[in-house]
Structure 1
Amino acid sequence: MKCVRCNTTSSAGALYCEHCGERFFKAKIRLVDRMGNDTTHYVFTHDYVIGRDEECDIVLSDPAVSRRHAAITYEDGVFHIENLKSKNGTLVNSKEISKVALNNYDCIQIGAAKLYFYFSEGDFPEDRIHTHTGEFIQETLMKISREIQSKNMLDEVLTAILDGVVALTNARDAMLWMPDESGEWQPRMTRNIRLFGDSGDLQTRVRTLVEQMASNGKHYVYHKSGRQEFIQNMNVVSGLPCRMLALSMRSRKIVDTQERSQKVLGVIVLRIANQVMVFDSRKISLLESLTTQAVVAIENALLYSEALAKRKIDNELELAQQIQNRLLPREIVSVPRTDIAAFSRAHSYVGGDYYDLLHVRDEALAIAIADISGKGIGAALVMSCLQGSLRAQIGYEDKPEHIVCNINQLIRESTAENLFATFFFAVYEYETGALHYVNAGHNPPLVIRTDGTHEFLKSSAAPLGILEENRGTEATIILKDGDVVLFYTDGLTEAMDEDMNQLGMNAVKDCVMVYVSENPQAQAREILDFILRQVEKHTAGQPQHDDLTLLVMKVSPAQ
């Protein structure tokens, strides 16, 4: 290819003059196909046919695309896109066209593919690295480094890196490989990838090469002579003609302190079809510096992406927390002859503890408390399932053993096998003081009598979700004026101090009984606050290890 500026000849297909740096290509097309693959094509002044046929200049493997679908032409300094009587038509900026002039940033849509057209009267970003000045390396490196470092999102960083390396090396095609979430190496971004061919065998060979480089942390060079080698330092290839070059981008962090090995973040594979690349010391210095800057930018972009992902998760968890809080009673229901106070705090954003207070008919109150196995989102989802089931059936069913049986069946059918819930459900008839209940594996509520005695409402059924049939045995106690009932989850009894010692039920029982005895006029809220102070005293500022829910009910004399 002959340069009109310096009248010298460069390698066929070169993007820039190898002598003066004059740009040969006139425009760029960024192709995003129906599979999401991102490819950049450099456009010169000849015609480009776009279609499904393998002989087309830009091939789109899409059944909705005609064999010869459209053409890009260059006339009098202007690029045009022309529809070639295709079956499904060609769109430019969402409008169907027959032939139209292309402007910078136009979007061409052919089938499911989108082709973004870039045509600049001035310089393209990669033009900067072909400017010859007295301080070529330092100035050029600063420019391309600023271009890379100005990006935050990983794809933007990778685009700047790959464009810079391709332009610097005059490579006709390139692939940037990175490991996916499972650790498998995949082509993340390409340039003029059609020149690599569609051969699965070729991609397999390149993948094998990339995996070797990820293991040994070295660069790879394929010499004109056919000799192949892995190299630690790029200076080895100075002045030598190369057909293919693969650059490993090594992390700044040491992975193995004994071997001083570094993790490979990505690999750039560059080729020139039927041609060779010759690197002088200037280009090698710039290429190594550019690779170093690329590593810094990739690490920063990864951190930025992780921060964005964490922020998104935090926002979603905050929303989940708000939703879950609305599932719990916003206000304590008013019940004759009964004083009630409640407290619930999740271990993290959302939790698996649940309590509810629901009116039953006109003379009773339904009391529910549950603890879902595990923590976090999974437990919260089961909690919402349990709450929905209870509220859906409480209008027509209030026998504790039937409630337990129905919810057990729902949890078995709709949750994973390793999830279960302990559940205490009672119906309290406040006029008679009768408390009818079934305890399905839950921490037994503590009943403190005014005569100084106490009892636990022990389990009569397995936790929900374990057995196929789990009806339980209903029991009844009579509560009298002044009696106190403490409902709770294991976050109370398992609260830990700095030595990982649990508070324990005996300590809770003893201190609450003493407090109630010494303060017979104490209201439910005062008793609950006293218990929370005991928890804080025991944990002494240690982080909460589990969800914590308390509900105190005290029977008051009739007014």
Structure 2
Amino acid sequence: MSLNLLAKREHPQLPAETKLRLMMELARKISSCLDLDDVLALIIDMVRSFIDYDAAGIYIIERKGKHKRVVAQTSRGYDQDRSSDCMCMKVGDGIVGWVIKTSSGAIVPDVSVDSRYISGRTGTKSEMVAPIRANGKVIGAFNLESDRLRAYSKYDLEMLMFFANEAAISIEKARLYEALMEKQRLEAELAVARRVQQTLLPTSDPLFGHFEISGLNIPTSEVGGDYFDYISVSENRLGVVIADVSGKGVPAALIMATFRASLRGQVCSECPLSSTFYQMNELLRQNNSLDQFVTACYLDLDKTSYKFSYLNAGHNRPIILHSDDSYETLSEASLILGLFPRQPYEHFIHYTKPGDVILLYTDGITEATPPHLLEEEFGIERLVEASQKHKHLPSSEIAKAIFKAVRDFSGNANQSDDCTVIVIKVA
């Protein structure tokens, strides 16, 4: 027979002055403490002055994805070799899990006849558990165990409820503090990432023969891994690169810095792009502990002609706008950089004509979404339309017009990715 009935012996309710004294004493002790483990340790030790126990635990619900489990945040008196099952359990398991599931306090005079009991120590004879509630929801439980049968009463449960309420306040306070600290840590990390990203981007656009070039980057609040650069290969050749590192924050910024330094070190007038990117892939892969990758598109412009070489490593396809309002995409591409060993990379030649406009961009442009309509994206057609409409303007103005079109489309919706575009006009 399951015994979760309250013990029969009656006690007077906790006097108001006793509650006030307890509250003031607890407040005094925990007012300057923001560490959750320290606060709960103070509470669990203070309970012993009012309710005798041989083992105790304060349990909190933890979420991992869609799953919830009950974990002992602070405990006293459990056997090391027997306590794993009672320190971490599913909601509903054990007397603690039952209390959390039902939001009801429980007194078990004899655990040996209660099928819910999970043993965490050999000496336990009776148990008492109070739910911990915050904002109308059960967030945990306060558990006491005794080596005596029928050790706990209604009076004891009322007292434990009081301490459970104090634990709830402390848990919420500590969680708010931890959330604030995490927010400040992330903001500091993002500030570092922004500084790294901005120092790696060009401060001005180059003047290069009949190619009029302009690049523009607008980072999101999360700071992604967008990058673009201009690399002087020789007097008549200029490298134009756009790239996107997977991930966000400092890790993405560091991979970006590695990519930039490696590319600038590898590019030379005698080295074919296919060989350069093969070496880049191997270098990034060997120094990639987080399984991050890079997509990149590199154009080798020659100001003595209207042709250029290009290599696309898994990046968005370049777009060529023509003077007759038609356009084409350069579909030839190789694999992304940094994940797969010994991958071949192939470069191609393309011929332009005066009046052409070359667009390089990251997916933050084409994947921008409007508010409340996340399945619709800005897309290639809108990018082409915005560019065609302003192709008579300088390349810098075309880039600005593209960003304005993206902003008008997405409204006030928060975008999850950086936006970067390079516009190259052929005169």
TM-score when normalising by structure 1 = 0.59
Percent identical = 24
CA drift of 1:425 comes to 0.9
- Structure 2, unaligned runs of 5 or more: 1-13, 117-123
Matching of residues 375-454 of structure 1 within 5 Å = 380=253, 382-395=255-268, 398-415=271-288, 420-449=293-322, 454=327
Q: Deviation per CA, 1:306-344: give whole Å up to 9, x if none.
A: 332233223223322322232222333454554322112
Look up the match of 1:162: 44
Q: Does 1:268 align with 2:150?
A: no
CA drift of 1:353 comes to 2.4
Contact 2:230 2:238 in 1 (8 A): yes
CA drift of 1:424 comes to 1.4
Q: Does 1:213 align with 2:115?
A: no
Q: Deviation per CA, 1:214-239: give whole Å up to 9, x if none.
A: 3210555565x8876699xxxxxxxx
Q: Does 1:473 align with 2:352?
A: no
Q: Does 1:144 align with 2:19?
A: no
CA drift of 1:162 comes to 1.3
CA drift of 1:212 comes to 0.8
Contact 1:435 1:479 in 2 (8 A): no
Contact 1:343 1:549 in 2 (8 A): yes
* Letter matched to residue 527 of structure 1: I
Look up the match of 2:4: none
Change (3 A) 1:248 1:318: farther
Q: Does 1:247 align with 2:247?
A: no
- Structure 1, unaligned runs of 5 or more: 1-132, 232-241, 256-261
* Letter matched to residue 313 of structure 1: L
Contact 1:398 1:427 in 2 (8 A): no
Distance in 2 (alpha carbons) for counterparts of 1:475 and 1:531: 27
Distance in 2 (alpha carbons) for counterparts of 1:417 and 1:226: 49
- Radius of gyration: which is bigger? 1
Look up the match of 2:378: 503
Contact 1:249 1:295 in 2 (8 A): no
Structure 2 counterpart of 1:342, from 215, 226, 240: 215
Change (3 A) 1:334 1:168: farther
CA-atom RMSD in angstroms: 4.0
Look up the match of 2:184: 311
CA drift of 1:392 comes to 2.4
SS of structure 2 residue aligned to 1:139: helix
Change (3 A) 1:409 1:355: same
Distance in 1 (alpha carbons) for counterparts of 2:296 and 2:265: 17
Q: Does 1:491 align with 2:364?
A: yes
Distance in 1 (alpha carbons) for counterparts of 2:86 and 2:211: 76
Change (3 A) 1:314 1:504: same
Matching of residues 197-236 of structure 1 within 5 Å = 200-201=81-82, 203=83, 207=87, 211-217=93-99, 219=105, 221=107, 223=109
Matching of residues 511-522 of structure 1 within 5 Å = 511-516=386-391, 519=392, 522=393
CA drift of 1:538 comes to 2.6
Look up the match of 2:406: 535
Q: Provide the aligned length of Structure 1 versus Structure 2.
A: 394
Larger RCO (CA under 8 A, 6+ residues apart): 2
Q: Deviation per CA, 1:413-459: give whole Å up to 9, x if none.
A: 55489755432112112244442222334333233455766544332
